[in-house]
Amino acid sequence: MKPTLWLGIIALYTALTIVAVYLIPSDSVFSWLTYFFGFTFVAVMPGYCLVNVLFKEGKLEFVETAVLSVALSFSLVGVSGLFLGLSPIGIATNSITITLSGIVLILAILSFIRKRQK
C-alpha cells in the first residue's frame, strides 16, 4: 500500500471516530457506531501505528501484526490514561479523545516518514 494512501486511511478513521464520539447522541439509533469506532480506535489504532513505526513492512505476518497491535494499543492507552489521571487535565471524554487522536496521528506521521525513506 502506498504510504500516502495508508496515512489518509488512518487520518480518515481518526476523523470518523471523533465525529462519532462527539456528534452521535447516546440515545440515537446509531449509537452503536460510537461504540464500534471507539472500541476499534482504542484497541487497535495506536498499536497498529506503533507496529508500523517499529517494524518494516512485510517483516511480520498478519497474525503477529494483529496481536502486537492490540497489546501495544492497550499499553499505550493505559500509560496515557495514567498520565492524564495524574495531570491537572484529568480523565474525561475530551481529554481521552484528544490524547489518543494525537498519539495515533503522531505515530502515523512517523510511520509515513519511515515508509517514505525506503
Q: How far apart are CA 78 and CA 81, in angstroms?
A: 5
- Tens digit of each residue's pLDDT (9 = 90 or more) over 42-72: 999 999 999 999 998 889 999 999 999 999 9
Q: Residue 77 pLDDT more than 80? A: yes
**Cβ-contact 55, 41 below 8 angstroms:** no
Q: Would you say the pTM of this structure is higher than 0.85?
A: yes
Q: How far apart are CA 53 and CA 24, in angstroms?
A: 32
pLDDT of residue 35: 92
**Average per-residue pLDDT for the chain:** 93
pLDDT of residue 26: 87
pLDDT of residue 16: 95
Domain ranges of the chain: 3-116
